[in-house]
Amino acid sequence: MKSIRYYRWAADLVQRRITAFTRALPDVFILGATKAGSSTLAYMLWQHPEHVRPLAKELMYLQQLPVFRSNWESTRVSSFLWGRYRDGHARYSVSGYRKFFPTAREMRRLSKTGKPITSDCDPFNLYCETAMRRIAKLARRPRFIVSLRDPIRRAFSDFNMHRTNGERDARSFAQAIDDELSGAEKRFRKRFIHQSVYAPHVERLLATFPRDQLLIIKAEDLFSDPALIARQLFSFLELDPVPVDCSTQNRGTYSDPIDPASEDRLRKYFRPFNQRTYDLVGRDFGWDS
């Protein structure tokens, strides 16, 4: 049964590539940060009747990040079908990207108002200058949703996810911090501290796109009142408000708390970066208290 599903998946990707010229490009990009609620935001948006779903969440196609391997590059064959040949996302084309999205005909058929949208939810795009340049060329007026979380909580959640998934990272959080800050850790997805430094990426977004095309959300607000954030999301995208299931998606459960020494160390480390983020966004998120 697993092999049959794989062949069907492969055949679907081939068919989608052949018909790529008939397919839409996304209007909305849900960016990171990773482990800051992007799955929940995508789940909310996907429930709206004017949204037509892409093939999958987190396509991991636009980035060109250092020592990065996407979830879809499990074998050479899957890398070829998805559009990659080696780590580092060396292969890219517009038709290769279009294959992930619905056809223009499907968009029109499913729309009730004549204004359908589709989206790309990929938190790794936030961190990649190449992805931003590609989006700027692809989309006429892209809109971005960015959710930012307390950088320490985000980094610790990311670390725990990697420790408990198939990679089985056996390091302590303190050791992971040491490895990264010493420069020993080169793998992008294991650079937990780097992904919590938001200011350079927010600054790049604001330098590339108009501010009114960007909605920045404090992840803690999303976690505490998701219905409010759903209304803000739909308003920003000029969609009619509709009731949606706002339950949290992709939530990790970790029993061990962060050790106080690591928390204190990172609180001091992130403070200047956080202040720069507050200045750019125009809001103090209160992560330093």
The rounded percent of the chain whose pLDDT value lies above 70 is 94
Whether the per-residue pLDDT at 167 is higher than 70: the answer is no
∠ at Cα 113 (108, 117), nearest 5°? 55
Query: Six-digit token pair at 42?
Result: 């995508």
The rounded percent of the chain whose pLDDT value lies above 90 is 72
Domain ranges of the chain: 22-59+102-250+271-281
∠ at Cα 32 (40, 253), nearest 5°? 50
174 Cβ contact list (under 8 Å, min separation 6): 259, 261, 262
Contact predicate 161/117, CB 8 Å = no
pLDDT tens for each residue of 186-241: 999 999 999 999 999 999 999 999 999 999 999 999 999 999 999 999 999 999 99
pLDDT tens for each residue of 112-151: 777 899 999 999 999 999 999 999 999 989 999 999 999 9
Characterize the bridge pairing of strands 214-218 and 119-121. Answer: unpaired
pLDDT tens for each residue of 33-64: 999 999 999 999 999 999 999 999 999 999 88
pLDDT of residue 179: 95
pLDDT band (50, 70, 90) for residue 90: very low
pLDDT of residue 76: 78
Whether the per-residue pLDDT at 252 is higher than 70: the answer is no
CA–CA distance, 82 with 78 (Å, rounded to integer): 6
Q: Which CATH number does 22-59+102-250+271-281 carry?
A: 3.40.50.300
pLDDT of residue 155: 96
pLDDT band (50, 70, 90) for residue 88: very low
Look up the pTM and report it. 0.92
Whether the per-residue pLDDT at 87 is higher than 70: the answer is no
